[in-house]
Amino acid sequence: MTHTLLRIDASARRDGSVSRQLTDQIIEKLTPDHVIARDLANPLPHVNEAWISANFTPVTDRNDEQHKALELSDTLIEEVQQADTIVIGAPIYNFGVPAGLKAWIDLVARAGVTFRYTEEGPVGLLTGKRTIVVVASGGTEAGSNYDFATGFLKHVLGFIGLTDVEFVTADKLALDAEGTIRQAQEQVDQLAA
């Protein structure tokens, strides 16, 4: 059985990015057969009125323009559906997730496609996938009262069905970069292959 991994890089930095370096190490450890790469430093469009209108129009009633408005969203969702494992490199910018990662989430979280509403509440439809989130930050401690990234990611990923979420944290890089990276690499070493 082949193992497909979806790699999502949210760092605006391509060179010197700790989240990208740790993501590289995770992929090397997991040795997937196929990697789908989505680099969010290449900006995604934000949800707009045309996208919302198309999304809320039944599939059978959508015109060509509406299908085109959802084309990228459909591709992003298909990437998640194809993956057995998802690795997200997510730096913390100003206490939250980067705008590119938020745009990706907005394009992937679609009622009736990646989650559905039931009388018991919402149910995620992207189930049975392992998700590893690499968090890097200069001074924001992961899990602290001023970290608005990790809790948000755990919630929104669970909302669409990605409930098997592990975090590798390289937080407080501004205080002790060497020690922080060493601890994060130890976390990578402890991940199950």
Mean pLDDT across the stretch 160-175? 96
Say which residues have a Cβ less than 8 Å from residue 129's Cβ, sequence separation at least 6.
80, 83, 84, 85, 86, 161, 162, 164
pLDDT per position as a tens digit, 14-37:
999 999 999 999 999 999 999 999
Q: 193: pLDDT confidence band, cut at 50, 70 and 90?
A: confident
Say which residues have a Cβ less than 8 Å from residue 90's Cβ, sequence separation at least 6.
10, 19, 97, 98, 101, 133, 134, 135, 136, 149, 153
- Residue 1 pLDDT > 90, yes or no? no
The pLDDT of residue 192: 87
Does the annotation place 19 within a ligand binding site? Answer: yes
Does the annotation place 53 within a ligand binding site? Answer: no
Does the annotation place 137 within a ligand binding site? Answer: no
CATH 3.40.50.360 for domain 4-190, yes or no, is yes
What is the average pLDDT value for the chain, to the nearest integer?
96
pLDDT per position as a tens digit, 31-71:
999 999 999 999 999 999 999 999 999 999 999 999 999 99
Domain boundaries, the chain: 4-190
Does the annotation place 17 within a ligand binding site? Answer: yes
